[in-house]
Structure 1
Amino acid sequence: MLTMSEKRELRSTPLGLRVTPSLKSALESAANDDRRSVASMAEMILTDWLEAKGYLEKNPK
């Protein structure tokens, strides 16, 4: 049986936010360079930051 930390959560909760045009442009460039969607890139950046600061449990990669 898997523990809560081992279960994969479904991406079912939307998150909307407003950013400056320059931030959006930078995010789009980073996503393009990493061959990701903007949403995937934003999720990765948020996840990495939250894990580094201890707000989110690190998932084994």
Structure 2
Amino acid sequence: MVKTHPLGFRVEPELKEALERAAKDDMRSVSSMVEKILTMYLRDKGYLPKSAAE
């Protein structure tokens, strides 16, 4: 299993509520949703390689 690292940060209440709704709609935890959003952004900007499926 891949070892993960904790990451903590603060967000405005509106952003947290929107994130919770998005995670629920995608049937994910908030943590998993944040990871998905970060991964998509970083791939789009070229900081991470594109996946084979893209």
Q: Which structure ranks higher in relative contact order (CA pairs < 8 Å, sequence separation ≥ 6)?
A: 1
Say whether the fold is shared (TM-score over 0.5): yes
- 40, 47, 51: which one pairs with 1:55? 47
- 19, 22, 35: which one pairs with 1:43? 35
Structure 2 gaps, min length 5: none
Cα RMSD (Å): 1.5
The 2-side partners of 1:11 and 1:50 are apart by: 20
The 2-side partners of 1:39 and 1:31 are apart by: 9
- Between the aligned residues of both structures, percent identity stands at 57
CA-to-aligned-CA distance 1:1-54 (integer Å, 9 cap, x gap): xxxxxxxx8242111010000000000000000100000000000000000000
Structure 1 position 18 matched with structure 2 position 19: no
How many residues align? The count is 53
Calculate the TM-score normalised by the size of structure 1. Answer: 0.78
Structure 1 gaps, min length 5: 1-8
Larger radius of gyration: 1
